[in-house]
Structure 1
Amino acid sequence: MKKLRLLASGRVQGVGFRYAVVNLALDIEDLYGRVWNNADGTVEILVQSENSAKLAKFIQDIRKGPSPMSKVSYLDVTMANFSDFSDFQVIY
């Protein structure tokens, strides 16, 4: 299982970004994780999958900004270690 932490900066809060991330993950399928807003204006995503190609597609689409009003100016992607997820959810 490949696990990643993504940290998105730019216009990513107040524009439906987190919900678009969840919908993107559901559309691609076989992706599991969590997404939430950070106090500093960034959005953090934990994502996991057995399928590297699907993770690459997910990252590519996040870089584009998954919601119409969002604009990702920087995306930090690192390997991560976290407990397995069985779905993809927004954390409040």
Structure 2
Amino acid sequence: MESHENEWSLETRLVQVRGQVQGMDYREACVRRARELCVTGWVRNRMDGSVEAMLQGSPEQLAEMYDWLSEGMSAALVDELEVTEVQPPFVRFDNFELLPTL
């Protein structure tokens, strides 16, 4: 059971990952890692070749997820990680999902 302190420290970030990140199961691996870290939200490919993820969790969970997005998959060549803070009120995600390409 999560404490109220953890609930208050919930943050939401929109992350765009640029580089060679499509066509190598990057999104599927992202889903697995997010679930391991108990990060909620979603991930999807974008038509411009980037991967976009909505991440929700504690600052510590998000920091671990940023590290994975940048360097966690050896086949991916990440050039840039753009992180945008999502201001409350925001949707509360229950799990981490793979969405269709946008």
Give the alignment's TM-score, normalised by structure 2.
Answer: 0.81
Size of the aligned set, in residue pairs, is 89
**1:15–1:67 contact (8 Å) kept in structure 2:** no
Deviations 1:47-80 (A, max 9, x none): 101x21111111111111x333211111001102
Cα distance in 2 for residues equivalent to 1:8 and 1:43: 5
Query: Structure 1: 5+ residue runs without aligned partners?
Result: none
Contact map agreement 1:6 1:45 (CA 8 A) in 2: yes
Give the alignment's TM-score, normalised by structure 1: 0.89
Larger radius of gyration: 2
Aligned to 1:33: 41
Separation (CA, whole Å) in 2 of partners of 1:47 and 1:15? 21
Identity of aligned residues (%): 28
Q: Distance in 1 between matches of 2:36 and 2:76?
A: 18
Structure 2 residue runs of 5 or longer lacking an equivalent are 1-9
